[in-house]
Chain A
Amino acid sequence: MEENRQRAIITVVGHDTVGIIAKVCTYLADNNINILDISQTIVSGYFNMMMITDLSGKNKHFADISSELEELGKEIGVLIKIQREDIFDEMHRI
């Protein structure tokens, strides 16, 4: 459980453009956040990506990462959210 507490889901939604994944991944690498899994689709021109990440090595507070990702999203023109994984686990797994 403690391990799960350190996992977070990052979602990126918006118009598809060059370099979205690169920019998000660079940010995560700079902050020592490990990516465990990525899935991505394009739904009617909209870019839709989900990353499962491990925050155990993070060098910042959750709240700071959250607001910096939001800022980064604004720069790229997409919506980036980070949420702890438990909320999805609780809702979809018995």
Chain B
Amino acid sequence: MININEVNETNEMIQKENLDVRTITMGISLMNRIDSDVDRLCERVYDKITKKAEKLVSTGEAIEAEYGIPIVNKRISVTPIGLVGASACKSPEDFVKIAHTLDRAAKQTGVNFIGGYTALVAKGMTDEEKLLIESIPEALNSTDRIMSSVVAGSTKTGINMDAVRLMGDIILKTAEATKDRDSLGCTKLVVLCNAPDDNPFMAGAFHGVTEPDVVINVGVSGPGVVKKALEKTHGADFRTLCETIKKTAFKVTRVGELVAQEASRRLGVPFGIIDLSLAPTPAIGDSVADILHEIGEEYAGAPGTTAALAMLNDQVKKGGIMAASGVGGLSGAFIPVSEDQGMIDAAVAGALTLEKLEAMTCVCSVGLDMIAIPGDTPATTIAGILADELALGMVNQKTTAARLIPVIGKGVGDHAEFGGLLGHAPIMPVNTFSCADFVNRKGRIPAPIHSFKN
């Protein structure tokens, strides 16, 4: 039988160390809502989302109350709209209509974000997918809860440089369209390589075409819990360090598994995967950078950070795998800047640079995340950074992504404020040498060789 110490341990994790379930995300297929008339399509899409997710938020809240564990976000992901809208949309404005519909459906169901305003263009773009991408600045400017993603590369296909170049431009246009809010639109736009079909985390969540009609995916978290556990192993050897991380990740993930099973049972929707991630928030004590500090780095970004992060990421997976019945999504430590107070501090102190972050993304999920850069950064430079990040994913057979925010009207030394979970960030300097001649080449970077790995 459970004893008082175990009960106290769990409740301290929840009350003092920010243990929570980060998100319950309901994936909903819209394939059977495709229509050649955009208005009818919108109606059918709205109808399906609001019916399937009608009880998502209330069920999440009931589980929270009964188990005493916060479930921070309830969200929805849908089939990439680049596919769903292809037969109906003849212009970017048509796609924006769908964006408004998704936004309305999100508000009706009470979820805080809906992901899937997405184009899958790793190898090439259809005309309609190009229209969707062109609609992104207006779609993100005129909605509140839409998350958009563009998959522009994969290990199997290479990198679609035409899409990457276009995205450099679209990111700047999105920043411009939302410049009155510190270019907030770009916090909801991510470019990915090797994007998973079952990711519950935003902004890259979409409901892949390989998925069932409706599914529940759950993202766990708990950087604060890991940090607290490591405080007790101060100065210990690596074996002890790794064991502690694994045990903690196991406990955190078991709670996620319980919540996932319970949500699936109550909603009558199959359970898909647990995403084993250390997802930070701007709250004090909920930081991945603080774990790196506890491991022995003065600041995140100091020499040794990449090795420490590689170890952390691997132990989280090793501990979490056994605790979950199905693992997927991004699964790893997230290293966003604006959403992690320790990362913000490291950037302000000058310990953390864009280049070091790029190196760190080689060993963890997911990529250059929530990084504010000067608003006058040229589109070609943004495309160059995107290409670099996608190349890391392509060659290393992992998911990588970039969510960059060129904050219009601000430069290095300024600070951008996004609010809530999206946090705030110092503007980080970008290498100012040009890569225009490189990114202006047409076509794609071919898929890498899958043998002779060095």
Contact = CB atoms under 8 A, between A and B. Distances in A.
A75 B305 CA distance: 50
B3 interface: yes
B182 to A, nearest CB: 39
Interface string A70-94: 0000000000011111111111110
B236 interface: no
B251 interface: yes
Contacts of A88: 2, 6-7, 10
B62 interface: yes
Contact of B258 (A9, A40, A63, A87): A87
B257 interface: yes
Given A87-B258, A90-B258, A91-B251, A81 B68 contact: yes
Residues of B contacting A: mostly: helix
Interface residues of B, number: 21
B37 to A, nearest CB: 44
A84 B2 CA distance: 12
B254 A91 contact: yes
Nearest to A50: B4
A85 B3 CA distance: 11
B449 interface: no
Contact of B255 (A48, A82, A87, A93): A87
A9 B7 contact: yes
B1 interface: yes
Contact of B3 (A39, A81, A84, A86): A39
Best-surrounded residue of A63, A66, A91 (most CB of chain B within 10 A): A91
Given A84-B66, A86-B67, A91 B10 contact: yes
A85 B262 CA distance: 13
B431 interface: no
Contacts, number: 62
A86 B251 CA distance: 13
Nearest to B6: A92
B434 interface: no
A41 B8 CA distance: 12
A11 B67 contact: no
A84 B10 CA distance: 12
B87 interface: no
A41 B67 contact: no
A87 B1 contact: no
A52 B3 CA distance: 9
B421 interface: no
B7 A41 contact: no
Contact of B8 (A48, A87, A89): A48
A37 interface: yes
Interface string A36-76: 01011100000010101000000000110010000000000
B307 interface: no
Given A48-B8, A87-B68, A63 B255 contact: no
B66 A50 contact: no
A34 to B, nearest CB: 15
Contact of B7 (A40, A50, A63): A50
Contacts of B2: 9, 52, 85, 88-89, 92-93
Interface in B230-257: 251, 254-255, 257
Contacts of B436: none
Contacts of A82: 68
Interface in B36-69: 62, 65-69
Interface in B1-21: 1-4, 6-11
Contact of A63 (B10, B62, B251): B62
16 contacts: A9-B2, A11-B8, A40-B4, A48-B4, A50-B7, A62-B66, A66-B65, A81-B11, A83-B67, A87-B68, A88-B6, A90-B255, A91-B251, A92-B2, A92-B6, A93-B2
Interface of B: 1-4, 6-11, 62, 65-69, 251, 254-255, 257-258
In order of increasing CB-CB distance, the 6 nearest A-B pairs are: A83-B68, A50-B4, A90-B254, A92-B6, A90-B258, A87-B67
